[in-house]
């Protein structure tokens, strides 16, 4: 490889690393949410997750949120250490205009979800939810099976988006 080709290769690798570090790109997790898998990158997707990543120290779990029940509400979530707890950012696309959709962390996986919420999250509004939860660590989440779930506000038993927290 000569010097003309090595520069662009290094620049492309650096950009890919920066995008992944800020929550864009593919997740390190093997998250199969069943109905839809997030394969692309939406320009708005990076903003809330990027700011969350910059405000947190330690590790961050990046999760693909898959649309459920024909909602077309795919997206991403990020969970990271925040003081004596965790900070959870959820971003979904195609949320109905003006909606406020309940969101929770449930025990189980998207395919086998405990219907009783384990931890409540701030409702998803304008496609975004940001929540701090005291007393929970990333290690706690890694010890079990958990999923982030967004509900239809008119029918709480109908899920519109889900992402597995298992690594």
Question: Which residue would you say has higher pLDDT here, 136 or 7?
Answer: 136
Q: What is the DSSP letter of 166?
A: -
Note the pLDDT of residue 167.
54
- Look-up of token digits 């290690």: 139
Indicate whether 52 pLDDT > 80: no
User: pLDDT tens for residues 56-112?
Assistant: 344 889 999 999 999 999 999 999 998 889 999 999 999 999 999 999 999 999 999
Query: What's the mean pLDDT when you consider all of the chain?
Result: 74
On the question of pLDDT at 33 being above 50, the answer is no
Helix, strand, or coil (residue 49): helix
Residue 132 has pLDDT above 60, yes or no: yes
For residue 148, what are the contacts with CB-CB under 8 A and spacing of at least 6?
63, 65, 77, 79, 88, 90, 103, 104, 105, 106, 121, 162, 163, 165
For residues 111-132, give the mean pLDDT.
96
Per-residue burial over 62-76, b = 16 or more CB atoms within 10 Å of its CB, e = otherwise: bbbbbbbeebebbbb
Instruction: Give the mean pLDDT of 12-36.
Output: 32
Task: Answer yes or no: is pLDDT of 54 > 80.
Answer: no
Q: H or E segment at 146?
A: strand 146-152
Share of the chain above pLDDT 90, in %: 56
Indicate if the pLDDT at residue 138 is higher than 50. yes
Asked if residues 152 and 158 have their Cβ atoms less than 8 Å apart, the reply is yes
Instruction: Output 50 or 29, whichever has higher pLDDT.
Output: 50
- Quickly state the pLDDT bin for 10 (edges 50, 70, 90): very low
* Alpha carbon distance 18, 50 (integer Å): 10
Structure tokens at 109: 């996986």
Closest by CA position to 87, among listed 109, 48, 56, 108: 56
The stretch 131-160 carries a mean pLDDT of: 94
Q: Please state which CATH class domain 3-164 belongs to.
A: mainly beta
CA torsion sign, 140 to 144 to 148 to 149? negative
pLDDT for position 14: 35
Q: Report residue 166's pLDDT band, with 50, 70 and 90 as the boundaries.
A: confident
Paired residues of 106 in beta bridges: 117, 147
């Amino acid at each position: 490889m000569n010097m003309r080709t090595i520069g662009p290769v290094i620049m492309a690798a650096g950009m890919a690393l920066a995008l992944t570090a800020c929550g864009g790109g593919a997740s390190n997790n093997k998250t199969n949410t069943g109905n839809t898998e997030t394969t692309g990158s939406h320009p708005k997707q990076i903003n809330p997750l990027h700011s969350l990543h910059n405000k947190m120290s330690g590790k961050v779990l990046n999760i693909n949120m898959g649309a459920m029940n024909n909602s077309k509400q795919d997206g991403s979530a990020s969970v990271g250490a925040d003081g004596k707890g965790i900070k959870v950012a959820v971003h979904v696309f195609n949320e109905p205009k003006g909606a406020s959709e309940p969101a929770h962390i449930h025990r189980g996986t998207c395919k086998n979800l405990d219907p009783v919420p384990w931890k409540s999250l701030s409702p998803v509004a304008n496609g975004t939810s940001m929540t701090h939860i005291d007393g929970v660590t990333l290690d706690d989440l890694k010890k079990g099976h958990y999923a982030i779930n967004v509900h239809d506000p008119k029918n709480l038993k109908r899920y519109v988006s889900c992402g597995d927290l298992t690594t």
